[in-house]
């Protein structure tokens, strides 16, 4: 899996790169055709051989290894020893107590500031990060609006608790990520060794490792915090490494010629040059952390997630929405603020340059202190507005009137999902392995073929073959839907700028609104079926695909498009003949992100009737059966690996 850049702003390739790639395209195509022919021949021979030697059917029971026994034993050991064993007393318990104290400290700090103080801090920091001009004003207004709405929705206290958890987990994730990124950016070997680790950290569902963390660190803040850190650190690590590697050689050359040694060069040239990437990494880390808010609530971390989760028990969509909206708003506020800081608009050069650096920060601090001195407490109760009733009414009306969704879901299940699943399950196990190997080899090289086959075989060995194929059928269906819709929407957005501006807040909301909020509407529309799981996945994965596609098409060299137009190409010809081929690397990244994000929702799918691996992961957590949950989690990681290898070309650009 490559970098998980969900709100991509710099992911697209430059037109220059795309063109050089195109010039080698012809040779590439010839080689591919030859490879295809050879591959087809070998595959046919192997299929016949396999049929004769191995017979058909699912994964043979003799070739499985049950890992749930040892895992459950480990689980038991932890429960029996955690109050007495030195490892816990002298190390792990300190970690968990420190974590609790840190989050508690931040929360109490925010609470002491009062609502006026918190708001002043958010607005002023946003303004300071984005500079004095109109942009600064807009970012500051976004911050003000976000907090005001959180208060108005009656979620002030929950919002503060969530922010406290976010501050601490993002801080740890950022430091950890930066350190890992530093190591990976400076050494190729470390980079190669870390990549699969980072992939696993992101694709392994948090539900699967939540249980071991709860057992070791206890329910509540610590387990939630550490899980959030695991999930959120990879983008920081990846983008830091990317920034360090991508530093302008000329600048490095200059610093060497000035006699800088290795460390000086790192501090004075490489790290400053990587600043933009690192800030983008921080931005992504924040978004990832926010998406864990509801999952954190499952182990009792409180905050907005708990509000969402408890609303589910009464199937109160309105209340869930009222708690989900602040999460979206916090995300928007932090996204705009960190993005502005990343662009460096707040740095000198602009008008009023006396208002920058330490002086401006002192001003911000003074203003916040003044606001805090007013000693307001939490948000006043009378200033709240209950949106749950209108939202519930709207939801009921929609689900009562959109009856075609159910028919559609039924047909989709009967004509697409069932045949796909039954077909995959019906295929003899060795032929699935062969298919995977062949596909990965055709797309990449023999290394990717071996990796993909090994991952697929691991699924069989774990004893979850049939369930994994069921999940795979759902993932494939969701992926195809996401890509078709995403590419279409991306093309439209790239062509109509105004449309993109309208769609942007919607995409933001789709990406950051916890999936738990739309769980009930999805079931109300499509029933507790696999189709619901697929719809939930599409909603979550679509924005990233749309964004990357739009960005990729936008950055296609205008000269190439102009040239084709002057040759008399129609709009359609321009799009199909020039823009899409040139934007291919971006489209590939979009496919990759589609895979990662669809897999991320497999577990949520288990909550709405998706069954298979997703259900096993939730069951493992809620029944305390670590073996079951971890096995399914590992199988999901393996599926991710397979899908990655069969969809991504190996001629990867350096990251």
Partner 1 sequence: MRTVRTFRTAVAVAGAFGVLSLTACGAAETGKSNTAGGDKTVKLTVPSWVGAQANVAVAKQILEKELGYKVKTQQMGEVLAWDALSKGDIDAILEDWGHPKEEKQYVDTKKTVVKGGDLGVTGHIGWFVPKYFADEHPDVTDWKNLNKYAKDFQTAESGDKGELLEGSPDYVTNDDAIIKNLKLDLKTKYAGSEAAQITAIKKYAAAKKPFITYWWTPQWLNAQIDMVEVKLPEYKEGCDADPEKVACAYPNTPLQKFLNADFAKEGGEAAEFLKNFKWTTEQQNEVALMIAGEKMSPEAAAEKWVKENEATWKAWLPKK
Radius of gyration of the chain (CA): 26
With respect to partner 1, which residue has the nearer C-beta, 594 or 606?
606
| Neighbouring-strand partners of residue 348 | 350
Q: What gap in Å lies between CA 392 and CA 178, rounded to an integer?
A: 44
With respect to partner 1, which residue has the nearer C-beta, 478 or 618?
618
With respect to partner 1, which residue has the nearer C-beta, 81 or 347?
81
With respect to partner 1, which residue has the nearer C-beta, 164 or 561?
164
Q: Compute the least distance from the CB of residue 178 to partner 1, in Å.
A: 11
Q: How many residues belong to the chain? A: 655
Contact in structure between 238 and 10 (CB atoms under 8 Å): no
Q: Compute the least distance from the CB of residue 505 to partner 1, in Å.
A: 27
With respect to partner 1, which residue has the nearer C-beta, 61 or 351?
61
Q: Compute the least distance from the CB of residue 95 to partner 1, in Å.
A: 8
User: In the numeric block, which tokens belong to residue 360?
Assistant: 């401006």
With respect to partner 1, which residue has the nearer C-beta, 529 or 631?
529
Helix (H) or strand (E) holding 501: helix 497-512
With respect to partner 1, which residue has the nearer C-beta, 341 or 603?
603
Q: Compute the least distance from the CB of residue 608 to partner 1, in Å.
A: 5
Contact in structure between 182 and 46 (CB atoms under 8 Å): no
Residue with tokens 């960005």: 551
Q: Which of 231, 72, 207, 311 is nearest to 619 (CA)?
A: 207
With respect to partner 1, which residue has the nearer C-beta, 225 or 546?
225
Which residues 6+ apart lie within 8 Å of 15 measured at CB?
A: 555, 556, 557, 559, 560, 582
Phi, psi of 12 (to 5 degrees): -65, 150
Phi, psi of 179 (to 5 degrees): -65, -45
With respect to partner 1, which residue has the nearer C-beta, 90 or 404?
90
Q: Compute the least distance from the CB of residue 613 to partner 1, in Å.
A: 12
Q: Compute the least distance from the CB of residue 574 to partner 1, in Å.
A: 42
With respect to partner 1, which residue has the nearer C-beta, 259 or 358?
259
Q: Compute the least distance from the CB of residue 259 to partner 1, in Å.
A: 15
Q: Compute the least distance from the CB of residue 97 to partner 1, in Å.
A: 5
Q: What gap in Å lies between CA 579 and CA 491, rounded to an integer?
A: 10
Q: What gap in Å lies between CA 329 and CA 287, rounded to an integer?
A: 11
Q: What's the maximum distance between 2 C-alpha atoms anywhere in the chain?
A: 83
Q: Compute the least distance from the CB of residue 291 to partner 1, in Å.
A: 18
Q: Which of 212, 180, 185 is nearest to 197 (CA)?
A: 180
Q: What gap in Å lies between CA 638 and CA 216, rounded to an integer?
A: 26
With respect to partner 1, which residue has the nearer C-beta, 92 or 561?
92
* Whole-number Cα distances in Å, 233 to 171, 239, 289, 331: 10, 10, 9, 17
Q: Compute the least distance from the CB of residue 103 to partner 1, in Å.
A: 4
* Whole-number Cα distances in Å, 217 to 100, 102, 292, 629: 10, 15, 17, 18
Q: Compute the least distance from the CB of residue 615 to partner 1, in Å.
A: 6
Q: Compute the least distance from the CB of residue 461 to partner 1, in Å.
A: 24
Q: What gap in Å lies between CA 464 and CA 199, rounded to an integer?
A: 21
Q: 3-class DSSP state for residue 328? A: helix
With respect to partner 1, which residue has the nearer C-beta, 132 or 174?
174
What 3 state SS string does 577-615 have? HHHHHHCHHHHHHHHHHHHHHHHHCHHHHHHCCCCHHHH
**CA angle at 547 for the pair 545 and 549, rounded to the nearest 5°:** 65
Q: Compute the least distance from the CB of residue 164 to partner 1, in Å.
A: 6
With respect to partner 1, which residue has the nearer C-beta, 383 or 502?
383
Q: Compute the least distance from the CB of residue 82 to partner 1, in Å.
A: 8
With respect to partner 1, which residue has the nearer C-beta, 120 or 214?
214
Q: Compute the least distance from the CB of residue 184 to partner 1, in Å.
A: 9
With respect to partner 1, which residue has the nearer C-beta, 438 or 520?
520
DSSP secondary structure string, 53-121?
HT--SS--GGG----HHHHHHHHHHHHHHTTT-HHIIIIIHHHHHHHHHHHHHHHHHHHHHHHHHHHHH
Query: Reduced to 3 DSSP states, what percent helix, strand and coil does the chain have, rounded to the nearest 5?
Result: 80, 0, 20
Q: What gap in Å lies between CA 461 and CA 463, rounded to an integer?
A: 5
Q: Compute the least distance from the CB of residue 467 to partner 1, in Å.
A: 12
Q: Is the dihedral of CA 241, 245, 247, 253 positive or negative?
A: positive
User: In the numeric block, which tokens belong to residue 454?
Assistant: 């090994």
With respect to partner 1, which residue has the nearer C-beta, 130 or 325?
325
What 3 state SS string does 518-552 have? HHHHHHHHHCCCHHHHHHHHHHHHHHHHHHHHHHH
Contact in structure between 578 and 19 (CB atoms under 8 Å): no
Which residues 6+ apart lie within 8 Å of 463 measured at CB?
A: 59, 64, 65, 66, 631
Q: Compute the least distance from the CB of residue 388 to partner 1, in Å.
A: 7
Helix (H) or strand (E) holding 475: helix 465-495
Q: Is the dihedral of CA 616, 622, 625, 630 positive or negative?
A: positive
With respect to partner 1, which residue has the nearer C-beta, 232 or 607?
607
């Amino acid at each position: 899996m490559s970098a998980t850049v969900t709100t991509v702003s710099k992911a697209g390739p430059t037109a220059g790169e795309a063109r050089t790639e195109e010039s080698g395209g012809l040779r590439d195509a010839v080689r591919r055709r030859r490879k295809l022919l050879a591959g087809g021949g070998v595959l046919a021979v192997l299929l016949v051989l396999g049929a004769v030697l191995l017979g058909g059917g699912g994964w043979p029971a003799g070739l499985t290894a049950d890992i749930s026994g040892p895992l459950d034993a480990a689980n038991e050991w932890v429960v029996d020893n955690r109050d007495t064993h030195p490892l816990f007393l002298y190390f792990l318990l300190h970690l968990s107590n420190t974590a609790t104290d840190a989050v508690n400290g931040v929360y109490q700090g925010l609470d002491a500031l009062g609502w006026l103080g918190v708001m002043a801090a958010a607005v002023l920091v946003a303004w300071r990060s984005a500079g004095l001009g109109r942009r600064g004003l807009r970012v500051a207004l976004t911050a003000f609006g976000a907090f005001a709405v959180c208060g108005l929705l009656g979620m002030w206290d929950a919002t503060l608790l969530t922010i406290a958890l976010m501050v601490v987990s993002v801080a740890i994730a950022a430091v950890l990520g930066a350190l890992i990124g530093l190591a990976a950016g400076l050494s190729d070997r470390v980079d190669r060794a870390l990549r699969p680790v980072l992939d696993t950290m992101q694709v392994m569902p948090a539900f699967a490792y939540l249980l071991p963390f709860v057992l070791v660190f206890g329910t509540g803040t610590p387990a939630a915090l550490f899980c959030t850190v695991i999930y959120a650190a990879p983008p920081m690590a990846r983008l830091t490494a990317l920034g360090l590697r991508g530093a302008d050689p000329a600048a490095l050359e200059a610093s060497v010629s000035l006699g800088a040694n290795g460390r000086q060069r790192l501090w004075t040239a490489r790290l400053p040059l990587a600043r933009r990437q690192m800030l983008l990494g921080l931005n992504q880390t924040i978004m990832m952390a926010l998406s864990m808010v509801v999952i954190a609530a499952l182990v009792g971390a409180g905050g907005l997630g708990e509000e969402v989760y408890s609303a589910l028990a009464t199937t109160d969509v309105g209340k869930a929405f009222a708690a989900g909206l602040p999460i979206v708003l916090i995300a928007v506020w932090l996204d705009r603020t960190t993005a502005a800081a990343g662009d460096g608009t707040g740095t000198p050069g602009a008008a009023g340059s006396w208002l920058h650096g330490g002086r401006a920060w002192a001003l911000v601090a003074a203003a916040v202190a003044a606001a805090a001195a007013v000693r307001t407490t939490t948000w006043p109760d009378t200033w709240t507005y209950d949106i749950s009733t209108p939202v519930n009414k709207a939801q009921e009306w929609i689900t009562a009137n959109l009856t075609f969704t159910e028919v559609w879901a039924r047909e989709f299940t009967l004509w697409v999902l069932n045949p796909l699943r039954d077909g995959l399950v019906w295929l003899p196990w060795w032929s699935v392995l062969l298919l995977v190997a062949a596909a990965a080899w055709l797309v990449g090289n023999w290394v990717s073929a071996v990796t993909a086959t090994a991952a697929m075989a691991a699924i069989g060995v774990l004893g979850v073959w049939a369930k994994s194929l069921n999940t795979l059928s759902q993932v494939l269906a969701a992926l195809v839907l996401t890509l078709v819709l995403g590419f279409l929407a991306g093309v439209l957005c790239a062509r109509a700028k105004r449309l993109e501006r309208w769609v942007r807040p919607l995409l933001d909301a789709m990406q950051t609104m916890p999936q738990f909020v739309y769980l009930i509407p999805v079931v109300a529309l499509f029933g507790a079926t696999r189709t619901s799981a697929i719809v939930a996945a599409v909603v979550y994965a679509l924005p990233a695909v749309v964004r990357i596609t739009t960005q990729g098409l936008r950055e296609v060299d205008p000269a190439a498009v102009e040239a084709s137009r002057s040759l008399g190409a129609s709009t359609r010809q321009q799009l199909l003949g020039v823009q899409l081929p040139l934007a291919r690397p971006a489209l590939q990244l979009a496919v990759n992100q589609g895979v990662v994000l669809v897999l991320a929702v497999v577990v949520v799918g288990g909550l709405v009737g998706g069954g298979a691996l997703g259900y096993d992961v939730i069951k493992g957590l809620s029944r305390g059966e670590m073996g079951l949950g971890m096995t399914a989690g590992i199988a999901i990681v393996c599926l991710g690996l397979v899908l990655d290898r069969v969809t991504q070309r190996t001629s990867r650009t350096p990251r």
